[in-house]
């Protein structure tokens, strides 16, 4: 039996056909029994994580827990270099040759502006050619093709799939299935339901890293998180990443019923994060170094529960923004609604426009890292703020 057949038949989550399992037919006649998505996601995260790397290197990007601090900071260094090299023609020329031999598929079945466009721009920066499906109604899914089959097609034509999907854990499940087809390509999670948005979190941490560079770094700071902390995937992923640092206070400011979910609270507690729960925004503002605002994720409402929230209690205005210390930074994954008044945009604390620009460099850095091209870049010293 060859190694490939062995992986199919004895892989970590492969098994004999049984009730509720599905199967993949191989061209050589083998049938591989697969776990269902529920069965797969019932496996502890610690057991799933090793399957998202190859030879000790990041391969699929699924969740923040894949990024220990040294890896994160290595990617920040690559992003700094990309940022510096993007300012002149020679730098752009050099970068555009690095991954000219690669093709990426952008498959976004949930709306996006920043993640889609910054991944597209990041691909262009490092020379990757792209294809896209943003409206499944214009693909053969309209004719009844499953998403699993559609992604199997993408992996036949492209070297990488970047995807967003409203179903929590679906990207992970696709990676698991895809790895058992013999045509595995890296899959990057660009947002999976209420679950995780790891590349958003990386660019958020990168913005904090740069902003706090001359203030002792990310450790030892006080962070406020405001809004829908239960269903916001970006804020969940940010908290997981921040928990890699030491001596942190988190102020969780959320409406009743929208607080940080128990699984994440447990993780933060285990990492020594001091958690403070409140719904009194103005009392917390003078205490924090960073405030991370979020919108209410009403697309996940079951029965109009978001409509009962008094949003004024979870908003930054031109009045209360000045309760923040002068050095504090304001972040938001965007899009925003009323939770940050546009009158604050010119406030020196407002970092959310720099934050979204950082998304291009972080995502390009990640692409270089995945394809092992980061080591071909010169090392360029960091500049602080923005």
Minimal distance in Å, beta carbon 335 to ligand CP?
Answer: 6
Q: Which is nearer to ligand CP, 181 or 355 (CB)?
A: 355
Alpha carbons within 13 angstroms on the beta-carbon side of residue 81 total 22
Token code pair at residue 97: 């040759």
113 part of the interface to ligand CP, by CB under 6 A? yes
- The span from the CA of 30 to the CA of 43, in Å, is 25
Minimal distance in Å, beta carbon 5 to ligand CP?
Answer: 40
Q: Which is nearer to ligand CP, 200 or 230 (CB)?
A: 200
Touching ligand CP, residues 216-235 (CB under 6 A): 234
200 part of the interface to ligand CP, by CB under 6 A? yes
Contact 327, 215 (CB under 8 A): yes
Q: Which listed residue (77, 186, 191, 232) binds ligand CP by CB under 6 A?
A: 191
User: Quick one: which segment of 45-53, 98-106, 173-181, 332-340 binds ligand CP (CB under 6 A)?
Assistant: 332-340
Token code pair at residue 20: 């509720």
Token code pair at residue 1: 């039996």
186 part of the interface to ligand CP, by CB under 6 A? no
- The span from the CA of 84 to the CA of 90, in Å, is 11
Q: Please state the three-class secondary structure of 344-358 as a single string.
A: HCCCCCECHHHHHHH
- The span from the CA of 193 to the CA of 195, in Å, is 5
Q: Which is nearer to ligand CP, 114 or 209 (CB)?
A: 114
Binding residues with ligand CP: total (CB under 6 A): 11
Q: Output phi, psi for 79, to 5 deg.
A: -60, -40
Q: Which listed residue (334, 360, 364, 368) binds ligand CP by CB under 6 A?
A: 334
Alpha carbons within 13 angstroms on the beta-carbon side of residue 286 total 3
Q: Which is nearer to ligand CP, 95 or 234 (CB)?
A: 234
| C-alpha pair distances (Å), 275 with each of 145, 253, 270, 285 | 45, 11, 11, 15
Binding mask 230-269 for ligand CP (x = CB under 6 A): ----x-----------------------------------
Q: Which listed residue (114, 180, 221, 373) binds ligand CP by CB under 6 A?
A: 114
Site residues for ligand CP per CB under 6 A = 112-116, 191, 200, 234, 333-335
């Amino acid at each position: 039996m060859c190694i490939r057949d062995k992986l199919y038949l004895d892989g970590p989550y492969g098994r004999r056909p049984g009730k509720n399992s599905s199967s993949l037919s191989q061209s050589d006649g083998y049938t591989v029994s697969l776990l269902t998505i529920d069965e797969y996601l019932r496996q502890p995260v610690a057991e799933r994580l090793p399957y998202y790397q190859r030879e000790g290197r990041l391969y699929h990007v699924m969740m923040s827990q894949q990024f220990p601090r040294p890896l994160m900071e290595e990617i920040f260094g690559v992003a700094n270099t990309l940022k510096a090299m993007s300012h002149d023609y020679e730098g752009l020329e050099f970068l555009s040759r690095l991954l000219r031999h690669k093709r990426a598929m952008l498959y976004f079945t949930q709306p996006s502006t920043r993640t889609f466009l910054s991944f597209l721009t990041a691909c262009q920066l490092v020379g990757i050619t792209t294809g896209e499906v943003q409206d499944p109604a214009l693909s053969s899914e309209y004719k009844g093709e499953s998403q699993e089959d559609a992604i199997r097609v993408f992996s036949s034509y492209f070297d990488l799939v970047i995807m967003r999907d409203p179903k929590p854990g679906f990207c992970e499940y696709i990676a698991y299935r895809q790895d058992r087809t013999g045509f595995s390509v890296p899959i990057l999670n660009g947002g999976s339901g209420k679950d995780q948005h790891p590349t958003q979190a990386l660019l958020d941490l990168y913005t904090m890293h740069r902003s706090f560079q001359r203030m002792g770094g990310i450790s030892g700071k006080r962070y406020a998180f405001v809004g829908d902390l239960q269903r916001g995937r970006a804020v969940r992923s940010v908290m997981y990443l921040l928990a890699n640092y030491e001596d942190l206070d988190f102020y969780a400011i959320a409406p009743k019923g929208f607080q940080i979910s128990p699984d994440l609270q447990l993780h933060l507690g285990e990492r020594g994060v001091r958690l403070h729960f409140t719904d009194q925004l103005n009392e917390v503002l003078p205490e924090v170094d960073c405030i991370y605002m979020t919108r209410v994720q009403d697309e996940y409402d079951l029965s109009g529960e978001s409509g009962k929230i008094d949003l004024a209690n979870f908003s930054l205005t031109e009045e209360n923004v000045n309760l923040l210390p002068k050095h504090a930074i304001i972040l938001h994954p965007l899009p925003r609604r009323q939770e940050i008044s546009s009158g604050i945009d010119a406030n020196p604390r407002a970092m959310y426009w720099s934050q979204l620009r950082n998304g291009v460099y972080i995502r390009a850095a990640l692409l270089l890292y995945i394809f092992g091209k980061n080591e071909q870049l010169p090392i360029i010293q960091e500049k602080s703020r923005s």
